[in-house]
Amino acid sequence: MTANKPPLDEFKQQIAESFNRRKNYDAESDFHPKLARRLVEYAGIKPGEKIIDMATGTGLVAIAAGEIAGDGGTVIAIDISAGMLEQAKTKIETAKINNIEIRQTDVETVELPPNSCDQILCCTALPFLRDIPATLRRWRGFIKPGGKIGLCVFSETAFIAGNVLREAAEKYGVSLASWNAATGNRDKCYKLLDEAGFNSIEVFAEQLGNYIDLGEAIKIWLGSLTHPLCLPLQQQDAQKRERIKTEYFVKMEALVTDKGIWNDIETFFLFGLK
């Protein structure tokens, strides 16, 4: 595993530390493995291709892509979290896949040769980027002419608890960024890749929603107290956080039905050619 670790600001340090703590990431649910499989299926990887997996995490996309690319292909798996990459390394060794190179660095600043890969894939990590449009333009430079970018992203209605939390915080003057603002609908997805210079853009939508209960809502609240995208909430005093917490649970309880709380997860698999 190679490391190229530029200085990280507070936001990026929080991201790395947050994922370092997730020791059983793949076992948390089948959600992320499912997204990775679908992204790779849509990507249509061919044997011999060179793939870059940006924000690889535990290597879910990288391993699936590496198996298809085969001995004549290569995968570069990039992430800033040492903890995630250690899990990826163990999985790669167990699977005896020899065409994956792991690099610990920031996907927004990684240095790669221009026009050197067939595809760049990134599964669910766009909200963690400081500057999504600039990063996509930068990534485009690494892709060969005729090559492809593939992203797994979410709509603005996805993840009810996050949306309710943002509304509750806003009531008390705390602004939490919309995690999926850049990819909120099909038009935004198309615009994102179009303005980054990609063409032949395709957007595939799937509804992967489920019902959750108030127990899950509690877990999400507790997670927000350390989640890097909830830093403005964490910076509030205890009294204001308690008011926001109360508002959050009042809103969540109002959404309970006989089946639970509907958790919309409209997912977009987004592709464009260079």
Residue 188's domain comprises 2-159+178-211+262-273
- For residue range 157-184, list pLDDT tens digits in order: 999 999 999 999 999 999 998 889 999 9
Residue 91 lies in a domain: yes
Residue 192 lies in a domain: yes
Q: CB–CB of 78/103 below 8 Å?
A: yes
Residue 127 CB-half CA count within 13 A: 20
CATH number of the domain within which 131 lies? 3.40.50.150
Q: Is the pLDDT of residue 2 over 60?
A: no
- For residue range 75-97, list pLDDT tens digits in order: 999 999 999 999 999 999 999 99
Summary mean pLDDT of the chain: 94
Residue 236 lies in a domain: no
Q: CB–CB of 170/164 below 8 Å?
A: no
Give the bridge partners for 119, in sequence order: 51, 148
* DSSP category for residue 7: P
Q: Which residues neighbour 135 within 8 Å (Cβ) at sequence distance 6 or greater?
A: 107, 108, 129
Length of the chain, in residues: 274
Kindly state the average pLDDT of the residues 12-16: 88
What pLDDT is recorded for position 228? Answer: 85
Residue 237 lies in a domain: no
- For residue range 231-274, list pLDDT tens digits in order: 899 999 999 999 999 999 999 999 999 999 999 999 999 999 99
Maximal CA-CA distance, the chain: 59
Give the bridge partners for 270, in sequence order: 151, 203
> What does the CA dihedral 201, 64, 105, 159 come to, rounded to 10 degrees?
60
Cα separation of 119 and 43, whole Å?
8
Residue 85 lies in a domain: yes
CA 4 to chain centre: 21
Residue 239 lies in a domain: no
Residue 107 lies in a domain: yes
**Could you tell me which of 33, 77, 49, 38 has the C-alpha nearest to residue 207?**
38
Cα separation of 8 and 79, whole Å?
13
What pLDDT is recorded for position 29? Answer: 84
What pLDDT is recorded for position 4? Answer: 55
- For residue range 177-214, list pLDDT tens digits in order: 888 999 999 999 999 999 999 999 999 999 999 999 99
Total of domains in the chain: 1
Order of strands across the sheet with 143-154? 2-3, 100-104, 74-79, 50-54, 117-123, 143-154, 266-273, 199-207
**Could you tell me which of 125, 3, 112 has the C-alpha nearest to residue 50?**
112
Residue 134 lies in a domain: yes
**Confidence class of residue 43 from pLDDT cuts 50, 70 and 90?**
very high
